[in-house]
Structure 1
Amino acid sequence: MSEDRVHVQVGANGVATVSMVRADKHNALDQAMFEALMRAAEQLAGDASVRAVVLHGEGKSFCSGLDVASLMGGSGGTNVLLTRADGRVANFAQRVTYDWSLVPAPVIAAIHGNCFGGGLQIALGADIRIAAPDAKLSIMEIKWGLVPDMGITQTLPRLVPIDVAKELTFTGRVLSGSEASTLGLVTRVADDPLAAATALAEEIAQKSPDAVRAAKRLYNETWVSDDAAAALALESDLQRGLIGKPNQLAAVTAGMSGEPPVFVDPATPA
């Protein structure tokens, strides 16, 4: 069943498109959808040809959140969401957001329609979010007497001040894509977020994949860190690993000649 929930397509240009395909349920998250999203992230993390990823939902919405009725009726009920496999940092539910950080290539979420609760947390797990101006977003868990628990502690603090995070979490109010952009919850708005996300992914795919992967790692590991020495050391270590390598030289050659660069895929996922 889970193979029917998410489709992954990798183009010749290195842009991968991940589509949630449960349109009749506004891409609500049942166990099969969780499993399919985890498998998609794992597949892309291991594919060195992938240079950028576009994540979106088919139909009228990006993702409307948990399909509580389905999860309650499944084996283990909603408790399955809180289970954590041995050795994993994230539990079952958290992996559909956290695992996007394990994909070396940038992940761009294209948001339209409803993006509620767990759906918003999935989008927050992406590196960049482009939303339709009239998209509807909400940290909705308070409506059900719950806290957001799908990795939001690793994403929201990088985007908005704590008072904004608290206001949105305490109230669960619904934001438009335009207001979400003003607050910093999404990167920018576009009338056609999927087209805009794809165009951005194609632009990124034309840059050195080594440098792009290193930049994602640099920011992911240091953005909210208070360890200046470790952050500065990582800058140097990553730079040392780029200088003089084939893709760095190809970027220099292209910059000097004006010709399109020719990059090679990383030998192994970074």
Structure 2
Amino acid sequence: MAVLAGCRIFSQAFRSQANSLDGVGRLQDAVNHALANKIQYVRSAAHGGTRQYSSDSKSGDDLIVRYLDDEDSGIVVFGLNRPKAKNAISKNLVNMMADAVESVKKNNKVRSVIVCSMVPGIFCAGADLKERAKMHQSEVGPFVSKARALISELGNLPMPTIAAIDGAALGGGLEMALACDIRVAAHSAKMGLTETKLGIIPGAGGTQRLPRAIGVALAKELIFAARAVDGAEARSLGLVSHAVEQNKSGDAAYLRALDLAREFNPQGPIAIRMAKLAINQGMEVDLKTGLAIEEACYSQVIPTKDRLEGLAAFKEKRPPRFKGE
């Protein structure tokens, strides 16, 4: 039953991935065939640069979405931009982020997404409590559900996502960062799921993603105590992958995230998407089902032009020119 449940989860996720990739063909049939063969086996066996953009949004927008160009083409930046509200998550910000996520999800030219802040000293202070206080009790549940769905969609983007935490990331702000594949923080940044101070619990995935990131006992301790940690401690806990000294312009974490995105950019985009899918889905199932998922994902890169280009580039001792085909 665990194998079948895991494969259903994978099939649903892969269907979404298949719809977003050009030139790979009818992936779902191939996946189903590969998984069917593998499931049969499992059953029998077990029983540094500056911010340069190609486009700008209005300075008053709560979210500024920018597509980098030139050698950074393919990198998209989601810039949280609510300075008066410390980037608190409002109805408008949720709507704007949902549109941005949907847009890049369908764009095969996007290689990676960086979520950062345009406001010095803050990443995201969590829910907009002033707006929340004006909501009728009947509005709170649907709004939290919409915010939770947004963060899940961010986590389900097919390309790598990096959270650049140059300031405080509290409550829903940290939950947003936790949905990203990789987190980079400045040493001076503060991070925590502090909802129990308000008599509530993390409601946008924090109780699930934080334990998966740092372990159950430590996650319970931080949530029960509503404790915030700085970037250095977050690195020691495994909450972030990299912690860097803040610079004078206050964007050291962003610049480190940009360096990471630049490392990802030259690699095969279909391969990266399939690797992300295999890792994410494989972590939710047993090892044997995970290996079946890996095999199914691997089978999708075999017929691609990118794979042939990689082999040709290796033979000719030159950098590959991947096109995502």
Same fold (TM over 0.5): yes
**Distance in 2 between the 1:112 and 1:243 partners?**
40
Equivalent in the alignment of 2:65? 8
1:186 aligns with 2:240: yes
Q: 1:19 aligns with which of 79, 83, 91?
A: 79
**Structure 1 unmatched ranges of 5 or more:** 83-90
Instruction: Report the secondary structure of 1:137's partner residue.
Output: strand
AA matched with 1:255: F
Corresponding letter in the other structure for 2:285: S
Root mean square deviation of aligned Cα: 1.8
What residue is the counterpart of 1:198 in the other structure? 258
Counterpart position of 1:88: none
Within 5 Å, give how 1:87-126 maps onto structure 2: 91-126=145-180
For these two proteins, the number of residue pairs brought into alignment is: 256
Deviations 1:31-80 (A, max 9, x none): 11111111111111111100111110111211011111113325754233
* Superposed counterparts of 1:183-262, under 5 Å: 183-191=237-245, 192-226=252-286, 228-262=287-321
What's 1:149 paired with?
A: 203
TM-score where L is the length of structure 1: 0.89
Say which SS state the counterpart of residue 204 (structure 2) adopts: coil
Q: Does residue 131 of structure 2 align to residue 70 of structure 1?
A: yes
- The equivalent position to 2:143 in structure 1, one of 64, 68, 81, is 81
> Which among 95, 112, 118 is matched to residue 58 of structure 1?
118
**Conserved in 2, the CA contact under 8 Å of 1:158 and 1:224?**
no
In our comparison, the structure showing a higher alpha carbon Rg is 2
Counterpart among 32, 41, 44 of residue 101 in structure 2: 41
Report the AA paired with residue 319 of structure 2. P
The CA deviation at 1:6 is 1.0
Aligned partner of 1:85 in structure 2 is none
CA contact (8 A) 2:112 2:161 kept: yes
Q: Quick one: percent identity of the two aligned structures?
A: 31
Deviation string 1:129-169 (CA, Å, 9 cap, x unpaired) is 00001100111111101111102244223211110010000
Larger mean CA deviation between 248-257 and 6-15 belongs to 248-257
TM-score, with normalisation over the residues of structure 2? 0.75
Q: Which residue of 1 aligns with 2:185?
A: 131
Equivalents in 1 of 2:165, 2:223: separation in Å?
Answer: 20
